[in-house]
Amino acid sequence: MELVHSAKTPSKQKLLIVVTISISLFTIIPLLYPFVEDPNFFLKQQHPSQTSIVKLQDSVETTRGRCDIFSGEWVPNPEAPYYTNTTCWAIHEHQNCMRFGRPDTDFIKWKWKPHGCEDDLPVFDPLRFLETVRGKTMAFVGDSVSRNHMQSLICLLSQVEYPVDASVNTSDYFKRWTYESYNFTIAPFWSTHLVKSTEPEPGKTEHSVFDLYLDEADERWTAEIGDFDYVIISSGHWHYRPSVYYENQTIIGCHYCQLPNITDFSMFYGYRKAFRTAFKAILDSDKFEGVMYLRTFAPSHFEGGLWNEGGNCLRKGPYQRNEAQDDVTMKLHRIQVEEFERAKEEAKRKGKRFRLLDTTQAMWLRPDGHPSRYGHLPEANVSLYNDCVHWCLPGPIDNLNDFLLAMIKREEDKGQLAQVRKMMS
């Protein structure tokens, strides 16, 4: 009996050991699963090294300080374009140059190369852009060139996905487009002067001027910006038009209005005041917590006369990098930058983020990128027959989105650096 008993005892012990090991394995394996899936799991749980912080900081400093992505020249890019007028439905008719017979295509095949940068400005990556802005919102505030810019972005993103109309407003000037796979929404806000304005009545000639209220921001966009993570503002060509200037609801003067007993101001006065008021509205907004980008003036390129005097833009390639801007473009740009820098100081004190998308010089060097007469049928009765203000799609305006993505990525790097520093403190 003892032999039998002694023979059974080891079997029970073995069974107990097997059961214990099995239970242990079933308990431990799920805990180890993340490590099996990701061999670097343990490394990711460690605090960042000083080396990684320095590397990230160098990246941020390089793009912000030693490397100015807005100073450079245009170089050939045989891989462009990245969409066509037949693959993108978002092209406004008047910028659809290929449809209306523009014979040359070399103007499409250029990209921007910054000076003094270790790396070139990357060509727009639509997938990376959508991943970066996942779950966010972006507003384009301004005139038809602002809309031109937004439509370029839609066309570039069409390589990945088309947006759906998510508008709450029936007006084409205030649409909302959503990329459902990325929960990303973009919206234009039509505001020609950024401040409150009243257009001339159709057919009225006695007082055919705009009324501009220079100390009142346009509430059609200021009331909505709290919903947006990125707000890109711009304004320019509408300020050339005859306007009566108001402050404190009182006429203080006008620009080229030719009305009796009213002081004549240059358009630069109204331009400066409009941006000062627009920036103040953002600074005073309790709801806006995003990033404001000022996209600087995009110049026109009329040669041989003004827009209504036979001026045209027939060049086939970019200017050389040392081509000087005209006096008006330089002054408008300078006003924008001065008012931006002024507002930026207050933004820092209030914890708001103001950023400069300083693309004027890059666009000045592209007199070849406008529709000219290829934005309509030859017999069409249009006010701007030779369009040297807007930009063909595809065309140079696509490169504004190269800059935009670089700036958004820079903002993302700054945020990561701040988080790393917080972890290390």
Q: Mean pLDDT lowest for which of 27-31, 63-67, 156-160, 366-370?
A: 27-31
Predicted confidence at residue 370, as pLDDT, reads: 98
Of the pLDDT bands very low, low, confident and very high (cuts 50, 70, 90), residue 63 is: very low
Which of 151, 63, 68, 72 minimizes the C-alpha distance to 362?
A: 72
Sheet strands side by side (includes 184-190)? 164-165, 177-179, 184-190, 137-142, 230-233, 291-295, 353-357
Predicted confidence at residue 170, as pLDDT, reads: 84
Over residues 230-248, the mean pLDDT reads 97
Q: Is 303 helix (H, G, I), strand (E, B) or coil?
A: strand
Q: Is 314 helix (H, G, I), strand (E, B) or coil?
A: coil
Q: How far apart are CA 396 and CA 108, in angstroms?
A: 7
pLDDT digits (tens, 9 = 90+) for 168-219: 888 888 999 999 999 999 999 999 999 999 988 765 555 579 999 999 999 9
Of the pLDDT bands very low, low, confident and very high (cuts 50, 70, 90), residue 229 is: very high
Predicted confidence at residue 422, as pLDDT, reads: 60
Predicted confidence at residue 320, as pLDDT, reads: 92
Q: Which residue has the higher pLDDT, 338 or 21?
A: 338
Averaged pLDDT score across all residues of the chain: 87
Q: Is the pLDDT of residue 362 over 50?
A: yes
Of the pLDDT bands very low, low, confident and very high (cuts 50, 70, 90), residue 100 is: very high
Percentage above 70 pLDDT, the chain? 81
Predicted confidence at residue 4, as pLDDT, reads: 37
Look up residue 134 and give its two tokens: 């996942």
Q: Is the pLDDT of residue 81 over 90?
A: yes
Written as one letter, the residue type at 121 is: L
Predicted confidence at residue 270, as pLDDT, reads: 98
Look up residue 99 and give its two tokens: 């449809």
pTM for the model stands at 0.84
pLDDT digits (tens, 9 = 90+) for 240-292: 999 999 999 999 999 999 899 999 999 999 999 999 999 999 999 999 999 99
Q: Mean pLDDT lowest for which of 2-16, 98-112, 192-206, 310-324?
A: 2-16
Q: Which residue has the higher pLDDT, 36 or 175?
A: 175
pLDDT digits (tens, 9 = 90+) for 387-420: 999 999 999 999 999 999 999 999 988 876 666 6
H-type helices in 285-425, by residue range? 327-350, 360-364, 399-424
Q: Is the pLDDT of residue 113 over 50?
A: yes
pLDDT digits (tens, 9 = 90+) for 11-28: 555 545 544 555 554 544
Q: Which residue has the higher pLDDT, 207 or 326?
A: 326
Predicted confidence at residue 308, as pLDDT, reads: 87
Q: How far apart are CA 301 and CA 382, in angstroms?
A: 19
Over residues 69-92, the mean pLDDT reads 96
Catalytic residue numbers read 144, 387, 390
Of the pLDDT bands very low, low, confident and very high (cuts 50, 70, 90), residue 9 is: very low
Percentage above 90 pLDDT, the chain? 73
Predicted confidence at residue 398, as pLDDT, reads: 98
Q: How far apart are CA 147 and CA 393, in angstroms?
A: 12
Phi, psi dihedrals of residue 78, rounded to the nearest 5°: -65, -15
123 with 111: CB under 8 angstroms?
yes
